[in-house]
Amino acid sequence: MNEQDKLQSKLFIGAIIIMISLIVNIIYANTQKLDSPIFFKHYYEINTLERSVENIYLHYLTNSNDDREVLYINFPNVDKDIAFSVKQFSDTEYKHYNYKKIALSIEFDDSVYSRMKDKIFLGDALITFNDGATMEVDLGKIILMKYINGSISLDHVMSGSSSGNKSKDIFKLEEPIIINSITTNLLEESKDIINMKIVNDDSTNISLIEDLRSEKPNEPELTLNKMDNVSLIPFEYISLPLQVNSAMSIYTSFDIKEDSKKYNFYRILYLVNFETLSGEKGNEKLLNVRYEPYFTDKDLKNYLKDRGAI
Amino acid sequence: MSDNFNKIFWGIIITLFNFNIGWLNILPDFIGYGLMISGLSYLYNETKYKEFYIAKNISVIFFILSIIGIFYNMDLMKNMNFINQIISTTGGIIQISLVFYMYSGVINLLENNDDVDCSGIIDSIIISRRNYVYIILITTLIMTFFTNIKIDILQIIAIAIIVVNICMGIRWAQNIRIVRNYFNQNIV
């Protein structure tokens, strides 16, 4: 066999290997294909005090070549006069999928708002894409709350969140208070995934913030770095009632161990219910208690397998 | 003889690069393949080497595909569907065969030419033929994984493959030009 014949044989074998590889890759890619977009579960508490809510972020996955956009979102079980609008927010490309984020906005006019109940539950939605296709999805549990302030409130010095889904709320007190309870409408969904710590009479944070604000008025969140040193305990072990005299910092973090909850999105509006020593009751919100999962290609694959989508 | 190698040389150049004025491709690929068919047909008729015959028939396939390609935009990066991938992979393998048979025909032609010693050119073309087959087989194999590679990595690999393919194509054209010059100077 001369060199030409040898090379011809190698070319032939190479072509067969290439075609086998192509077929295997196409079969594998086909097994990863989604029949329809997959929406993540969202557990949100949203305050509707201002009669409009903007940028409630909803997240979903599509096949990588699916460039359709969400045009409308309707909630069949909700008052038809509440106006929902949606816009495509971002798009992150993964190996086989696009991870997309849409921003939902809600508008209430005065008459709708006045007849609105304390809470509206959004879950089952009808999504319409820009190619005309529609699909029914379960978005999780989004609670629109008609939140009413307590008769007295605390001086909310700062609220912020840091990487790693941690948050911190710092309050300055005019007078001593007794915290009776910390409540949320998503207690069942969140009780075993939240760690919390109430640092009683912590004036160091306040003086630190005051110093920082005078030096760098645009960077108040620098103090959040200090959160790493605080050890938090599971929410159910928070011991209440608790008297706080001058200042307090409430730290929260998400500690999700269950795979079924790891890829959900959370936005929890804890309400700190308190009373003064003279018996006057009030409440205050903890802001920025939020959780957004981070995904690798492997995470997405596992998630979709768990959902039975691939 | 050298005129026909000249046609093949320009055919390769036209298929390697797009010559555009604005949006208009003034020298579309089918013109390049047409020149190759013309050159290879003459070489086959003159020599009766089966390698030139196969290379000519492959050029006919590419000629037809390039005309279809005018109406059907096959952009692999934008439209990574399975049909495009099958077409581009099969096209890659046929392209390797075209170059292999063209090189093989040229090597036979030079080996059977007793007029002037051309062993240096033959050795160079044998090496180029081997390199082309191995390298383009590897790049075509890598392309089969495109549907399962993340888009940002895919873009880097795709650019690297395009660069390699252009370099190998330029080498191919360069070798045909050397053969053209050889016949031009020694036989005419």
Q: Which of B92, B126, B145 has the CB atom closest to A3's CB atom?
A: B126
Identity of residue A119: K
CB B125 within 8 A of CB B99: no
Question: Angle, nearest 10°, between helix axes A3-31 and B82-111?
Answer: 180
Helices (H) then strands (E): counts for chain A:
6, 17
Q: Please, which pLDDT band fits residue A254 given cuts at 50, 70 and 90? A: very high
Is the CB of B164 inside 8 Å of chain A's CB atoms?
no
What confidence tier does B38 reach under pLDDT thresholds 50, 70, 90? very high
Cα pseudo-dihedral A129, A134, A138, A141, rounded to 10: 60
- DSSP-assigned beta bridge partners for residue A267: A44, A290
Residue A201 has pLDDT above 80, yes or no: no
Residues of B in contact with A65 (CB under 8 A): 79-81
pLDDT at B77: 47
pLDDT in tens, B99-142: 999 999 999 999 998 777 788 999 999 999 999 999 999 999 99
| The residue to which tokens 């939020």 are assigned | A290
| Strand positions, DSSP E, B5-143 | 20-21, 24-25
Chain A from 238 to 297: CB within 8 A of any B CB: 297
Give the pLDDT confidence score for residue A81 in this predicted structure. Answer: 84
Report the C-alpha gap between B82 and B77 in whole angstroms: 12
C-alpha count within 13 angstroms, C-beta hemisphere, residue A31: 8
Q: pLDDT tens for residues A136-188?
A: 999 999 999 886 666 677 888 777 777 778 888 888 888 899 999 999 999 99
Q: A17 — contact with chain B (CB < 8 Å)? A: yes
The DSSP element (H or E) to which A94 belongs, if any, is none
Q: In Å, how far from its chain's centre is CA B174?
A: 12
- For residue B133, the chain A residue with the least C-alpha distance is A11
pLDDT of residue A161: 78
User: What ipTM goes with this model?
Assistant: 0.91
Residues 6+ apart with CB under 8 A from B170: B16
What DSSP state is assigned to residue A171?
E
Spell out which residues of chain A touch residue B134, defining contact as CB-CB under 8 Å. Answer: 10
3-state secondary structure of A169: strand
Band the pLDDT of A219: cuts 50, 70, 90.
low
Nearest by Cα to A284 from A297, A276, A273? A273
Nearest CB to A22; choose among B89, B97, B151? B89
pLDDT per position as a tens digit, B142-177: 999 988 988 888 889 999 999 999 999 999 999 999
A64 to B97: CB separation less than 8 angstroms, yes or no: no
- Given a cut of 70, whether residue A206 has pLDDT beyond it is no
In terms of Cα–Cα distance, which of A189, A142, A190, A137 is closest to A309?
A137
Q: Quick one: pLDDT at residue A211?
A: 64
- Matching residue, tokens 């493959």: B161
Binary contact (A18, B144; C-beta < 8 A) = yes
Which is nearest to B34 in space by CA: B3, B2, B1, B67? Answer: B67
Contact A26/B at CB under 8 A? yes
CB contact under 8 A, A94 and B140: no
Subunit contact A29:B151, Cβ cutoff 8 A = no
Q: Residues 64..83 of A with a Cβ closer than 8 Å to B: which? A: 64-65
The model's pLDDT over B77-95, given as tens digits with 9 standing for 90+, comes to: 455 578 888 888 999 999 9
Strand A42-47 relative to strand A70-74, pairing: unpaired
Q: What is the pLDDT of residue A202?
A: 62
What type of residue sits at position A147? Answer: Y
Q: d(Cα B171, Cα B176) in Å, to the nearest integer?
A: 9
Please identify among residues 144-163 of chain B the ones whose CB lies closer than 8 Å to any CB of chain A. Answer: 144-152
Average pLDDT over residues A90-99: 91
Q: Is the pLDDT of residue A109 over 70?
A: yes
Cα distances from A14 to residues A21, B90, B113, B162, in angstroms, run 10, 12, 32, 20
pLDDT tens column, A4-31:
999 999 999 999 999 999 999 999 999 9
Query: Residue A208's pLDDT band (boundaries 50, 70, 90)?
Result: low
Q: What is the secondary structure of A175-237 as a DSSP string?
A: S-EEEEEEE-TTHHHHTTTEEEEEEET--HHHHHHHHHHHH-TT-GGGGGGGGGGPPPEEGGG
* CB within 8 Å: A93 and B97: no
Average pLDDT over residues A95-102: 94
pLDDT at A246: 83
Q: Which of residues 68-127 of B touch A (CB under 8 A)?
A: 79-82, 85-86, 89, 92-93, 96-97, 100, 104, 107, 126
Q: Which chain A residues have a beta carbon less than 8 Å from that of B93?
A: 15, 18-19
- Collapsing DSSP to helix, strand or coil, A107 comes out as strand
Range of lowest pLDDT (A223-237, A257-271, B131-145) = A223-237
Q: At which residue do the structure tokens 């999700």 appear?
A: A256
Tell me how far CA of residue B152 lies from CA of A95, B77, B141, B156, B157, in angstroms.
Answer: 9, 11, 19, 7, 9
Predicted local distance difference test score (pLDDT) of residue B179? 95
Give the mean pLDDT of A79-91: 89
Mutation target vs A (from B141, B154, B156; most A CBs, 10 A cutoff): B141
How far apart (Å, rounded) are the C-alpha atoms in residues A110 and A116? 10
Q: Within chain B, how many helices (H) and strands (E) appear? A: 6, 2
Q: Return all residues near B73 (Cβ < 8 A) that are at least 6 apart.
A: none
How far apart CA B93 and CA A14 sit, in angstroms, is 9
* pTM assigned to the model: 0.83
